[in-house]
Amino acid sequence: MLVLLLPILFLEIPRYTLGAVALCLGHMLYQLFNYCFRSPSPCVFDYCPTITVVVAGLNEAKTLPHTLESLWGTYPRMNIVVVDDGSTDEMTSIAQSFADAHEGVIVLSRAERGGKSSALNYALPFADDEIVVCVDSDSHLAPNALWEIVQPFRDPRVGAVSGTVLARNAFCNLVTWLQAFEYLRCIFLGRMFASKIDILGITSGAFGAFRREALDRVGGWDVGPGEDGDLTLRIRKSGYRVLFAPYAQCFTNVPTHFWRLLKQRRRWEWAVITFECRKHVDMGSPLSPNFRFANLLLLIERWTFNVLLTFLFWAYLVWLAFHWHANVPLQLFTYYVIYVALDFLTLGVILYYSLDPKRDLIIGLIAPLMPFYQFVLRAVSLWAITEEIFVRSSFRDTFVPEHVRNATWHW
């Protein structure tokens, strides 16, 4: 039975469930202390830096109007820069129509696609405000999202803040429903915990904010895929802190087809090898000027959970196949029951923090199918990190146009 529990003990409990429960209990104790010994203070947005919101996209004519409408009027000191990265639809004309009717909106159009990193860098000369906020053109923000995401910048040590990304199309089909719960567990709760212990290593590409000074110091975005994580690590290496704003919420469309989801996750897993294992491995060296103990912990967490335990998980399954006996099906069922129980425990923590408990409770009812979903994703992880280690498949990915990909350094 102990061997059976190893995948749960090393893969699920430390990374998600224990962290989420510890975070929740600590917060409850803090609230109890404030209730008993301090006067309650109202939650107010009293920090209001100037911001530029950059909305970059390709062929997003259908979704762009909703994105811009969700931004307009939600923050007082805001400019908007829309970048059309070589679209073949009506994205530029739709953006220009919005700009003609609203002050402080600039539209930039590129004749040739350069990729997301290139499009964001193209907008930087037009973003002179204190904070640069990036929003995907197929997303929309909650009403107070911009206020929420800028508050941590009150601390001058903060260089980047990640917002919460949630599934807008959660109930489109089974694939989106599974992702919706995954986003709640891994992004909403997981990044909340990572931020608390100062090992957050990514600022969401769909909704993230950056101190303009920090962007200037690191030279903006490098070529993707995984440009959001790469930029975050470079900001950490330059001495800034990276925080998470759980109630700065962005709703985005997640992949509706299983094959598109697998391709997306394959690309995400490549980034772990490219950045944490190659480009930014110096973060873990005490001899490096970029060394901080928190950065070393970040690397250890990625190396352990994303790489080492992925290989060990599949090695365990191979071992199990060669040691099959009559009790294995019962053991696997026990594993399944424990996994689902942990997910429901995590769901309880999600509901404690949730702004929309009814919606999140319905999303959480998919928990009995999550073990099968995670099994498939771990297969994708094994595939992706193995091919990236040995053949560097990210260099040939069409996420970045070939002329841009060939002009950059390959890590």
pLDDT tens, position by position, 136-178? 998 999 999 999 999 999 999 999 999 999 999 999 999 999 9
| pLDDT on residue 68 | 95
Dihedral sign (CA 351, 191, 37, 154) = negative
The strand pairing partners of 55, in sequence order, are 82, 135
Tokens 């909106």: give the residue: 105
DSSP string, 252-305: EPPPSSHHHHHHHHHHHHHHIIIIIIIITGGGG-TTSTT--HHHHHHHHHHIII
Q: Which fold has domain 51-266?
A: Spore Coat Polysaccharide Biosynthesis Protein SpsA; Chain A (3.90.550)
Q: Residue 35's CB: how many other CB atoms inside 10 A?
A: 10
pLDDT tens, position by position, 7-37? 555 555 556 677 777 777 877 787 777 767 7
Return the closest-CA partner of residue 115 out of 162, 79, 83.
Answer: 83
Contact 48, 76 (CB under 8 A): yes
DSSP 222: P
Q: Is the peptide bond before 65 cis (omega within 30 degrees of 0)?
A: no
Percent of the chain at pLDDT above 90?
63
d(CA 206, CA 139): 7
d(CA 109, CA 55): 12
pLDDT tens, position by position, 254-264? 999 999 999 99
Q: Is 174 left (phi over 0), alpha (psi -120 to 50) or beta?
A: alpha
The domain ranges of the chain are 2-25+279-405, 51-266
Q: Residue 25's CB: how many other CB atoms inside 10 A?
A: 11
| pLDDT on residue 4 | 47
pLDDT tens, position by position, 224-234? 777 889 999 99
The pLDDT confidence band at residue 367, using thresholds 50, 70 and 90, is very high
Return the closest-CA partner of residue 210 out of 278, 284, 158.
Answer: 158
Per-residue CA distances from 391 to 259, 273, 309, 316, 385 (Å): 22, 12, 21, 25, 10
d(CA 364, CA 181): 6
Bridge-based pairing of strands 131-136 and 105-110 is unpaired
pLDDT tens, position by position, 49-99? 999 999 999 999 999 999 999 999 999 999 999 999 999 999 999 999 999
Which amino acid, residue 116?
K
DSSP 221: P
Strand, coil or helix: 366: coil
